[in-house]
């Protein structure tokens, strides 16, 4: 699928991975609809990219359906959806204060896994109504997992479960949607300079990335974006979770 003329919804697009991806799509001649929380930099990002801004909350499972409808109408169709919304809460299965709080566990699953599936199913419904390109392709869904899905560290049980769920549904979803010409892939990053890690010191960053093969540094949002663009452009990339981790394997802690 070519970037020029592409119509893309970018969930979490006000910052980090999603913003970098939106910037590359816009630079390549595509159109973007930025979805993020009210109060984020979404309006400014959308304006700078010539896109549209749609405040939303991925935990509003019914409300986001309306927002996606509005975004698709503004775009005039939908070819790509990139979902980077997520987060976690640290805690051991059994800690000093007792078992991990079940409501906290559910909240992490809702934000990462349920939120991702919900936006995927809604975006896929719009893609299915579009005209296929010459290769029979109608759309691409790109989700965000983590290498914690495979080597979750101590205290990451909820986050690991959620991100493993995203990786686990990738192939099945690709098979579900293959007959419609919709591809599904997931990116599993290691530690990147986004969110909580964006302001860490050089010494702290060096310690966090000491087990990487190369390069021994935090990843950059644009490196995620470059992989997202490669996924969009290459029709043979489908049903897979791609690690983006500089050869990092998390130790237990």
Q: Which residues are catalytic?
A: 159
CA distance 173 to 166: 10
CA distance 207 to 209: 6
Yes or no: say if 174 and 238 are a contact pair by the CB < 8 Å rule.
Answer: yes
Q: What is the DSSP string of 121-150?
A: HHHHHHHHTSPP-TTS--EEEEEE--THHH
Cis before 215 (ω within 30): yes
Three-class SS state of 171: helix
Q: Which of 105, 250, 106 is nearest to 189 (CA)?
A: 250
| 68 Cβ contact partners less than 8 Å away, ≥ 6 residues apart | 9, 35, 119, 122, 123, 126
Strands 98-99 and 94-95 turn out to be: antiparallel
> How far are the Cα atoms of 1, 6, 35, 72 from residue 166, in angstroms, in the given order?
23, 25, 20, 24
CA distance 176 to 181: 10
């Amino acid at each position: 699928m070519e970037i020029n003329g592409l119509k893309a919804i970018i969930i979490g697009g006000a910052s980090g991975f999603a913003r970098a991806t939106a910037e590359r799509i816009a630079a390549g001649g595509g159109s973007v609809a930025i979805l993020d929380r009210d109060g984020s930099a979404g309006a400014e990002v959308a304006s700078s990219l010539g896109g549209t801004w749609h405040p939303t909350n991925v935990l509003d499972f019914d409300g986001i359906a309306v927002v996606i409808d509005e975004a698709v109408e503004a775009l005039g169709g939908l070819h790509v959806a990139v979902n980077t919304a997520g987060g976690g809460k640290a805690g051991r299965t059994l800690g000093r204060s007792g078992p991990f709080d079940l409501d906290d566990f559910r909240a992490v699953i809702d934000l990462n896994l349920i939120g991702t599936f919900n936006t995927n199913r809604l975006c896929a419904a719009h893609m299915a109504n579009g005209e296929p390109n010459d290769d029979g392709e109608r759309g691409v869904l790109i989700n965000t997992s983590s290498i914690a899905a495979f080597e979750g560290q101590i205290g990451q049980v909820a986050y690991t479960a959620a991100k493993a769920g995203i990786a686990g549904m990738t192939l099945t979803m690709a098979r579900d949607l293959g007959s419609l010409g919709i591809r599904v892939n997931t990116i599993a990053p290691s530690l990147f300079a986004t969110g909580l890690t964006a302001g860490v010191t050089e010494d702290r960053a060096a310690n966090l990335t000491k087990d990487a093969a190369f390069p021994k540094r935090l990843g950059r949002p644009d490196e995620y974006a470059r992989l997202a663009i490669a996924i969009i452009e290459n029709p043979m990339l489908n049903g897979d979770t791609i690690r983006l981790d500089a050869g990092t394997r998390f130790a237990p802690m």
